[in-house]
Amino acid sequence: MADPRDPRPLTGEPLALDLLNTRWRDAGEHDLLADLDGYRLWLSSAGLADRCTADRAGLAAAREARSALEALVDTPGSAAGRNALNAVLAHGGVHRTLTADGPADIVRTDGPEQLAAWLAADDYLGLLRRDAHRIKRCAHPACILHFFDTSQNGRRRWCSMAVCGNRSKAARHYERTARTESAGR
């Protein structure tokens, strides 16, 4: 569950997209990862505060992962994006083991500062395996948020129907009304 202090308009997406959504626009450009306090808040919202280091090295790693994800989501198949994501993934891996409770997957990274970035990069691979076509950018031209379309028919277009969907509907209504009024003159 997102931290109630989180100012972002869209939270709760899969980890990779949640990291992408640390940049957003409304009355201006915002970047939750602009400073260490924002990074701490993102870790809290993402449910990672107890597992990840909230320091400058972790913030730098998260920014690196976000840049790689942006490159891949905005330009699928981008060699530069793929190389950047692989560089993030190179800092960790999954160790499989058998415990008293059964099989377990343990994520190991080069250092604690790499964990949040690695988990987001790994989550992106999971989304690609599920259905790459459902990773979408909001259809509103002024919006830069991303979401994983879980709708039954895969036709979701907006990060939020209440915000971007209504803005688009209002703009179309205004355009139709303006055309009708100018045609009637």
Instruction: Write out pLDDT tens, residues 75-134.
Output: 999 999 999 999 999 999 999 999 999 999 999 999 999 999 999 999 999 999 999 999
DSSP classification of residue 52: S
- Coil, strand or helix at 92: strand
Q: pLDDT of 27-81, one tens digit each?
A: 899 999 999 999 999 999 999 999 998 999 999 999 999 999 999 999 999 999 9
Cut 0.95: pTM above it:
no
102 within 8 A of 1, measured Cβ to Cβ: no
User: What letter would DSSP give residue 165?
Assistant: I
Question: Residue 177 class from Cβ within 10 Å (0-12 exposed, 13-18 middle, 19+ buried)?
Answer: exposed
Identify the three-state secondary structure at position 141.
Answer: coil
Nearest to 65 by CA among 28, 115, 117: 117
Domain borders along the chain are 15-135
Cα(21)–Cα(32) distance, integer angstroms: 9
